[in-house]
Amino acid sequence: MSSEVAARRDAKKLVRSPSGLRMVPEHRAYGSPFGLEEPPWVPDKECPRCMQCDTKFDFLTRKHHCRRCGKCFCDKCCGQKVALRRMCFVDPVRQCAGCAPVSRREADFYDRQLKLLLSGATFLVTFENSEKPDTMVCRLSSNQRFLLLDGDGDGDGHREVEVARIAAVQMLTEGLPPGGGNARAIGMTLQYTTPGAEGLTQLTLTAGEDADGSRRQATAWLAAMHKAAKLLYESRDQ
């Protein structure tokens, strides 16, 4: 892909909606696969009372719409302004008591885990038609639309997987640690569709045994990708 085409695909514009200012892609098709669409607002005439506490709206008790769910609430039930990056809002926006905690948890993904995905990690990568794994760095593209896999020149070199085409993600773990706790993640299997091909294509990422910290980076990357997959599924189910 030429740099000119890539720049056009990554171009963004500032738009104003009833909910606030948003920085969105110039072309909708090039939006983040983790994004959410703005919900339609419940019409004012259909909500004479707060949809949380049932307080009746009047001259003193104003109605407010949650920017995440679109429902209608009083100020007490919808007074929090929280960042909502999955809808590309520039500033924190009003959200109800049910939606605000969800957006805060997602902010942790954008502030911490997304950075891990963008920086990448080294894995042993096995494609379904490969006889042996290749050592490759896997990272998320800056527009969040592709997983980029780059080898050391001895294997397949460069591969791309469109995130929106990922159909299934399965974590690979090994035994429980002494004293109990969670099993340790050692890899991940991704199944995805490929344009022009029937069925699903599969690749497996496995953390290596290096003692220089790359395994720790790979394990953190796997956890971040697992969270990203959950957001991807939520976006599809919207």
Segments making up each domain of the chain, as ranges: 1-116, 120-237
> What is the pLDDT confidence band of residue 224, given thresholds at 50, 70 and 90?
very high
Q: Is the pLDDT assigned to residue 82 strictly greater than 60?
A: yes
pLDDT at 181: 58
Q: Which of 32, 24, 14 is nearest to 144 (CA)?
A: 32
Q: Is the pLDDT of residue 92 over 80?
A: yes
Does the structure show a pLDDT above 70 at 27?
yes
- What CATH code would you report for 120-237? 2.30.29.160
Mean pLDDT of 164-183: 78
Domain 1-116: which CATH number of 3.90.1510.10, 3.30.1240.10, 3.10.310.40, 3.30.40.10 = 3.30.40.10
> Please, which pLDDT band fits residue 211 given cuts at 50, 70 and 90?
low
Q: What is the pLDDT of residue 200?
A: 93
Cβ contact 11:25 at 8 Å: yes
Q: Is 196 helix (H, G, I), strand (E, B) or coil?
A: coil
Q: What are the CB-based long-range contacts (under 8 Å, 24+) for 160-163? A: 161/190, 161/192, 161/203, 162/192, 163/33, 163/228, 163/232
- Max distance between CA atoms of the chain, in angstroms, equals 72
Residue 126: other Cβ atoms inside 10 A: 18
The pLDDT tens digits of the residues spanning 107-153 come to: 989 999 999 999 999 999 998 877 889 999 999 999 999 999 998 65
Q: Where are the alpha helices (DSSP H) in the chain?
A: 3-10, 99-108, 114-119, 214-237
Q: What is the mean pLDDT of residues 204-225?
A: 85
Dihedral angle sign, alpha carbons of residues 100, 105, 108, 109:
negative
Q: Which of 54-68, 90-104, 123-137 shows the lowest per-residue confidence on average (mean pLDDT)?
A: 123-137
Which pLDDT score, from 0 to 100, does residue 167 have? 94
Task: Report, as an integer, the average pLDDT of 31-56.
Answer: 93
Residue 201 Ramachandran class (φ > 0 left, ψ -120 to 50 alpha, else beta): beta
In this prediction, residue 215 has a pLDDT band, given cuts at 50, 70 and 90, of confident
Residue 67: the pLDDT is 96
SS percent in the chain: helix, strand, coil, step 5:
25, 30, 40
Share of the chain above pLDDT 70, in %: 89
| CA 30 to chain centroid | 14
pLDDT band at 237 (very low <50, low <70, confident <90, very high): confident
If DSSP states are collapsed to H, E and C, what string results for 143-177? CCCEEEEEECCCCCCEEEEEHHHEEEEEEEEECCC
Compute the distance between CA of residue 49 and CA of residue 215 in angstroms, rounded to an integer: 54
Per-residue burial over 29-53, b if 16 or more Cβ lie within 10 Å, else e, is eebbbbbbebbebbeeeebeebbbe
Q: What is the mean pLDDT of residues 166-183?
A: 77
Lowest mean pLDDT among 89-93, 149-153, 170-174, 232-236: 149-153
